[in-house]
Amino acid sequence: MIKNTETQDEQIQKVKSSTWIKYVAVTISLFIAGIYTFPTINNWYLGIVSIDKSNLLTAKVFRGELIRDVAVSGKLVAANAPQLYSPEIGDVTMLSRPGDKVEAGQVVAKLNSPELISLIKQNKSQLAKLKIEASRGALIDDEAQLDLERSLDEAKVRLNAANREHQRAELSFDKQVISELDFAKTQDELLEANLRHQHAKKRVDLAKKRLNFENQTRQFEVNQQQIILDELNRREKALEIKAPVSGIVGNWLIGQKERVADSQALMTIVDLTQYEAQLNVPEFYADDLGIGLTVNMTVAGKKLKGTLSSISPEVNNSQVQIRITINNNLAFNLRQNQRVNATIEFERKSNVLMVKRGAFLKAGAAKSVFKITDNYAKKHSINVGISSVEFIEILQGAKENDELIISDHTDFAMHEQIKLTL
């Protein structure tokens, strides 16, 4: 009989561990934990926030040529796109449709003006009447001149007769055949015949001048009427409306067969040989604009260059309108009212310290920026200079190859330093 398990039990002697080993283990554990937790505790103590670096835009500072420019937009317009107008009141027949190619001098529309045709007929009749009256007046003048010349001839005959009578009387008086009274009478008759002849000659001369003036007056009236008729004929020819330049028909400004008023716009002819860009520039840059500035343009993916040719003297909706002459535009297939994106070059500077533009300019009022060192970004004061569409000049506060945060830092702008996490 087994009384208990005493014979089966084995007594194990208690071994005492050294106390210093426990202390070493605890110390090592605390040290390792401190290594991993110290940066977090230190950042918390110093108020340093952590930002995910993938949410930020960064760029390095570098040196290069900086072009101070401004980005603008606008549209293409034909440098020569004349509008055609109705020369008279009437009904218009359009002969060319929008988009049709036309040559200079080609008839693109005809105008039917019954009022003008009637006026031409009236003036033709008036001209014929004046010509007849002028011819009749010339005949009357010839008759009057003939009568005066007959009177002159009669006076001359009387003068010759008086002269012969005086010579005979003079011979008779010398021979004492006639009395002195009769001789004096022949002298008076000679004098009278001479005066009559002189007066007749003067009347003929004056009549010739008068008749000449009257003839000129009648001719002037005929010429005046001819000028009026020529002008009406010119207006009649203008009823055939011709294209002033070679190009394409733009838009009809009226309907087919529509009755139009005098000087009413009918259509536009677009000259395809020369285009200009019409751009709108913010008023802020108005003082920097100048004739001759270089303009780089993009039209439907094509790169074009141009020169600023004109500047509007007024400001509309805080915009200044300018015109750009496009260089070598014949090499591209351009279209009226095509959209244009452009940059206007104001100034070029070489060996400039610069960085890519970003929202940090607005957030820091262009006075501060965060510079990245290792996994931290620290705020630094900067001074900026001129800017372009893509870059901005750094005058102070950064050096070449510095990496800056160029995205908006409004959320952490109040901190002097932030931690960047990956």
The gap from C-alpha 6 to its chain's centroid, in whole angstroms, comes to: 121
Q: Within a domain: residue 376?
A: yes
User: Both 364 and 257 in a single domain?
Assistant: no
For 5-18, the pLDDT digits (tens) are 555 555 555 444 45
User: Both 232 and 248 in a single domain?
Assistant: no
**Domain stop point among 301, 329, 348:** 348
Q: By the 8 A CB rule, do 354 and 60 touch?
A: no
User: Both 196 and 126 in a single domain?
Assistant: yes
Q: Within a domain: residue 17?
A: no
Q: What is the CATH number of the domain that holds 59?
A: 2.40.420
Q: Which domain holds residue 298?
A: 72-78+271-348
Structural tokens at position 356: 């890519």
pLDDT at 272: 75
**Domain stop point among 215, 237, 259:** 237
User: Both 265 and 288 in a single domain?
Assistant: no
What rounded mean pLDDT belongs to the chain? 81
- Reference 169, options 159, 157, 178; nearest CA is 178
Structural tokens at position 178: 């006639």
Q: What is the CATH number of the domain that holds 256?
A: 2.40.50.100
For residues 50 and 19, the model is more confident at: 50
pLDDT > 90? residue 227: yes
pLDDT at 150: 79
User: Both 297 and 246 in a single domain?
Assistant: no
Of the chain, the percentage scoring pLDDT greater than 90 comes to: 14
User: Both 254 and 144 in a single domain?
Assistant: no
Q: Within a domain: residue 405?
A: yes
User: Both 278 and 376 in a single domain?
Assistant: no
Q: Within a domain: residue 359?
A: yes
Q: What is the mean pLDDT of residues 45-65?
A: 79
Residue 336: CB atoms within 10 A of its CB come to: 17
Q: By the 8 A CB rule, do 69 and 345 touch?
A: yes
Q: Which of 96-110, 144-158, 309-323, 380-394 has the lowest mean pLDDT?
A: 144-158
**Domain stop point among 299, 317, 348:** 348
Q: Within a domain: residue 26?
A: no
Radius of gyration for the alpha carbons in the chain, expressed in angstroms and rounded? 55
Number of H helices, E strands in the chain: 4, 22
pLDDT at 348: 84
Q: Within a domain: residue 395?
A: yes
User: Both 228 and 149 in a single domain?
Assistant: yes
Q: Which of 32-36, 97-101, 336-340, 376-380 has the lowest mean pLDDT?
A: 32-36
The gap from C-alpha 329 to its chain's centroid, in whole angstroms, comes to: 16
**CA 420 to each of CA 48, 52, 60, 412: distance values in angstroms, whole numbers, following the listed order:** 10, 6, 17, 12
Residue 58: CB atoms within 10 A of its CB come to: 17
d(CA 134, CA 147): 20
pTM here is 0.51
User: Both 256 and 277 in a single domain?
Assistant: no
User: Both 106 and 244 in a single domain?
Assistant: yes
User: Both 295 and 341 in a single domain?
Assistant: yes
Q: How many domains does the chain have?
A: 4
Q: Within a domain: residue 332?
A: yes
User: Both 125 and 232 in a single domain?
Assistant: yes
Q: By the 8 A CB rule, do 262 and 66 touch?
A: no
Q: What is the CATH number of the domain that holds 152?
A: 1.10.287.1490
pLDDT at 46: 47
Q: What is the CATH number of the domain that holds 316?
A: 2.40.30.170
How does residue 21 score in pLDDT terms, banded at 50, 70 and 90?
A: low
Q: What is the mean pLDDT of residues 58-67?
A: 88
For 32, phi then psi, to 5°, come to -65, -45
Angle at 242 between CA 241 and CA 248, to 5 degrees: 120
Q: Within a domain: residue 38?
A: no
Q: What is the mean pLDDT of residues 299-324?
A: 88
d(CA 288, CA 154): 95
d(CA 367, CA 353): 16
pLDDT at 231: 92
How does residue 224 score in pLDDT terms, banded at 50, 70 and 90?
A: very high
